[in-house]
Amino acid sequence: MDEGEIFGVLGPNGAGKTTTVECVSGVREPDRGRLRVLGLDPSTDHTRLRRVLGIQLQEARLPDRIRVVEALRMYASFHQHPADVGELLSMLDITDRAGAQYRTLSGGQQQRLSIALALVGRPRVAVLDELTTGLDPRARRETWKLVERVRDSGVTIVLVSHFMDEAERLCDRVAVVDRGRVAALDTPERLVARASHERGGGRATLEDAFVSLTGGGDLL
C-alpha cells in the first residue's frame, strides 16, 4: 500500500478477506510469506503496532448501555497519546450524540462511532471492515464522505468491502482476492478498462471486472 491512499480488499465469500485483516492486526499469523505494516511484523511487534494501527471490525459491538463519550474515553485510556475525544466527535458529526447510549444509535451512527474508536489512538493506518453493511443508501453515502475525510486527515485506509460501487467510489487501488491469492491489484479505473476490453469494447463496471477475475463467487 502507498501512504495516504484508500486501498480496497475485495473478494468472494471465503476468499481470505477476514484472514487478511486478522494477519494485519496480529490476531493471526500468516501460514507463509512475509507481512509488514509500516515496517513492523504484526506477529511480534504488538505494542508498536497498536500505536500506528486502528481497526474497525464488522462484528464489533459495544454494550447496549455504554454512552458514546464513555466508549471513546475508555478506548482512549488504552493509548499513551490519544486523539481529543471532542475533536473526534466533531469530525464524525456525532457531537450531539455524545451522551447517548449505544443501543439508541442508528446503524449509521454506530458505524461513525466505530470509525471514531478506530481513530482514537491517532493511527497512521486504519482498517475498516465491511463498513457500510446493513446501512441504507443515504447512510452509506454519508459514511463514504466520512471515510474520505479521514483519508484527507492523513490516515492510510484499508477498506474491506463487498460493495463494488463503494470500492469504485472510494479506493485509489484495489486487490481482488480469490481463494487466498491476489487475482488482480490495480486502480478501479484500469480494472474496469480491462473488463471493457474483454467485452469487446462494451461498457463495463468494477463488478464486471470482479466477476471476470473470480468466476462470479458470492460477494458476502
**Annotated domain spans of the chain:** 6-60+124-214
Check whether 4 has a pLDDT greater than 80.
yes
Q: Which of 40-49, 76-85, 97-106, 194-203 has the lowest mean pLDDT?
A: 194-203
pLDDT of residue 59: 64
Share of the chain above pLDDT 90, in %: 47
Check whether 176 has a pLDDT greater than 50.
yes
pLDDT of residue 58: 67
Residues whose CB falls within 8 Å of the CB of residue 151, separated by 6 or more in sequence, listed in order: 4, 5, 6, 157
Grid look-up 486502480 returns: 187
Stronger pLDDT, 142 or 14, i.e. the higher one: 142
Three-class SS state of 155: coil
**Residue 131's pLDDT band (cuts 50, 70, 90):** confident
pTM of the model: 0.85
CATH 3.40.50.300 is held by the domain 6-60+124-214: yes
Cell of 129: 471492515
Q: Taking Cα atoms as reference points, which of 140, 160, 137, 202 lies closest to residue 16?
A: 160
Give 103's Cβ-side CA count (13 Å radius).
Answer: 4
Question: How large is the average pLDDT for residues 163-176?
Answer: 93
Question: How large is the average pLDDT for residues 177-195?
Answer: 91
First-residue to last-residue Cα distance in the chain: 24
**Residue 97's pLDDT band (cuts 50, 70, 90):** very high
Q: Are 116 and 123 in contact (CB under 8 A)?
A: no
Check whether 108 has a pLDDT greater than 80.
yes
Question: How large is the average pLDDT for residues 42-69?
Answer: 88
